[in-house]
Structure 1
Amino acid sequence: MEIMSKRSKLEEIVLIIIGVFLLAASVNMVYEPIGMVTGGVSGLAIVIKHYTKNIISGGIPVWVSNTVINIPLFIVAWFVLGKKYIGKTLFATVCFSVALSIVPRVNLEHQDLLLAAVYGGVLGGIGLGLVFATYATTGGTDLLSAIVNHYIKHHSVGKMLMVIDGTIVALGAVVFGLQKAAYAVIAVYITTKVMDSILEGFKFAKLAYIISEKNEEIAQEILTDMDRGVTGISTMGMYMRKERKMLFCVVSQKEIIQIKDIVAKKDPKAFVIVSDVREVMGEGFIEYRQ
């Protein structure tokens, strides 16, 4: 049983499509209708739409600006970063533009800016989490940050992204006011937290330390019935000065229940410690990627 094995191409495509549609919903149903700019190319597109209302009826659609701005970024990235880098990101970006053109512009919360920040943050966080889980991005400022970092290596991609997105949020403050910009910062914070939770949810596991007089029987049942590896670590109880083996086993969150049942059945007096593991790499868990 694997927590997160290497996904098939189809699974990654499905995750990307679901993710970009949720992200598009946050833009079309929350941010754009109320003028809340949370950074990114989509945020810049919201500003462009506002400024072009007097030129084109309704302004230039967000999906059009998102597409036009990303085209030169991908051309530059192709030559600077290589085609391998932009493969899935190109697909995700195209899907995002399509989603922006399809998802209806419906104002979910036109009065309460705090609720709007929460709605947008949750939708966007889940969407980005699903896309990032496939090791792709939606292009835009992420791609621009990577390009700039290629030439200015003493600043990380994260710092570059913060500066670029911060500039776009500041532009949004000038256009739509400081109050909406303040709530945009809240939305960004919620997006980050939700996105991290989504990504960590794929990686969480449980670590069990088992100290028992019947460690051989417990280990054998875990190996045969659960098909999980177990490591025996030599330990010494400092009170009794007695050497014994301590079992070390990493399993999924669901499997920890079975571990505890096995231990309780074999040795009700066993000492068991269970802790959370944020990420596990190796056989049976997350595969290493080059």
Structure 2
Amino acid sequence: MQKKLFPASELLHCLGILGGTLLYSLGMNLFVVPAGLYTGGIMGLSQLLRTFLLRATGWAPAIDIAGLINYAINLPMLLLAWRRLDHRVVLKTLLSVTGTTVFLSLVPRTDILSGDQLARCLIGGMLCGCGIGLLLWMGGTSGGMDLLGMMLIKSGSHTSIGHVNLCWNLMLYTICACAFSLSTAIYSILFSFVSTTAMDKLHMQNINVEVTVVTKILNPEMEHEILVDLHRGITRIDGIGEYTGDPVHVFYILVSKYEIGRLRAIIMKYDPHAFIVAKDGAVIYGNYKRKV
């Protein structure tokens, strides 16, 4: 069976990633930047560098150059990730970083909630979190610490990316408190909390799902798509259907929740009558590939 060079599902994923970057940029330029707040991660560093640069030079650009600084920092990380990670993930991350840079430059910085710091913090956090959650759902990443986390997992490191993120953001917000004000740091932390909560509601990568498939068809192409295209292992058990007495094949597969649709499409393509059972919330120990 000949594979399409660029299937329609990938085009939809790319459009979803661009939609996520647009949502994120709207949250940043309409709420976060006018409020003088700072995000975490590499974008937070980019915002700090932008502020210090503009203060030192007196430069007043028409656009927010934090996106350009973020792009410059992410490029070498993307080159390193190209050697270590799935190229599709890296290309989607390049698309998300590029989209973020472009939209941050195009969306005007407009303070639509002047003086209401809490509302700007909450609404900006929800928009940014939903934007990042959407692009993660579509198989991309926001770059920066996400890429670092994926490379740590790929290398088999026992370093917790959560701890790395926590220490990094603690450093950034300490700088905010010292360089600007304590209230700036506190509102920035609140923004990050709201953003992370909204992102988690959309991002389903960390929800593990047990999938059991019962089929009468044993098709090597179906197994190949699951193993190679979906990058998931299969445990196969051959048995007998008790009611019919016919031979059946039982596949046991572990996936993340957002991969369920792709897995079901692969199975239905080869056996529309397959029996599929999916169970959320599996707790897994041992050799299981977690995707960031």
Task: Give the TM-score taking structure 1 as reference length.
Answer: 0.62
Query: Cα deviation per residue 1:37-78 (whole Å; 9 max; x = unaligned)?
Result: 121222222211211123151267112211111112212222
Residue 178 (1) aligns with residue 187 (2) = no
Structure 2: runs of 5 or more not aligned: 1-6, 208-256, 265-275, 279-288
Amino acid paired to 1:33? P
Bigger Rg over Cα: 1
Alpha-carbon separation, structure 1, partners of 2:34 and 2:277: 42
Structure 1 residue 184 displacement after superposition: 1.4
Alpha-carbon separation, structure 2, partners of 1:166 and 1:110: 28
Structure 1 residue 150 displacement after superposition: 6.0
Q: Relative to structure 1, is the Cα distance of residues 164 and 88 closer, same or farther in structure 2, using a 3 angstrom cutoff? A: same
**Counterparts of 1:1-290 in structure 2 under 5 Å?**
8-53=9-54, 54-55=56-57, 57-58=59-60, 61-81=65-85, 83-147=87-151, 153-199=157-203, 281=260, 283=264
User: Matched residue of 2:110: which SS?
Assistant: coil
Structure 1 residue 189 displacement after superposition: 1.6
Amino acid paired to 1:154? H
Higher relative contact order (CA 8 A, sep 6+): 1
Query: Cα deviation per residue 1:103-128 (whole Å; 9 max; x = unaligned)?
Result: 11112334222111101111111101
Contact 2:81 2:147 in 1 (8 A): yes
Q: Relative to structure 1, is the Cα distance of residues 58 and 148 closer, same or farther in structure 2, using a 3 angstrom cutoff? A: farther
Amino acid paired to 1:109? L
Amino acid paired to 1:47? L
The equivalent residue for 2:220 is none
Contact 1:141 1:165 in 2 (8 A): no
Greater displacement, 59-68 / 177-186: 59-68
Alpha-carbon separation, structure 1, partners of 2:150 and 2:258: 25
Structure 1 residue 178 displacement after superposition: 1.4
Query: Cα deviation per residue 1:8-46 (whole Å; 9 max; x = unaligned)?
Result: 012111111111011112222222223211212222222
**Paired-residue identity, %:** 27
Alpha-carbon separation, structure 2, partners of 1:279 and 1:89: 17
Alpha-carbon separation, structure 1, partners of 2:201 and 2:119: 20
Contact 2:89 2:140 in 1 (8 A): no
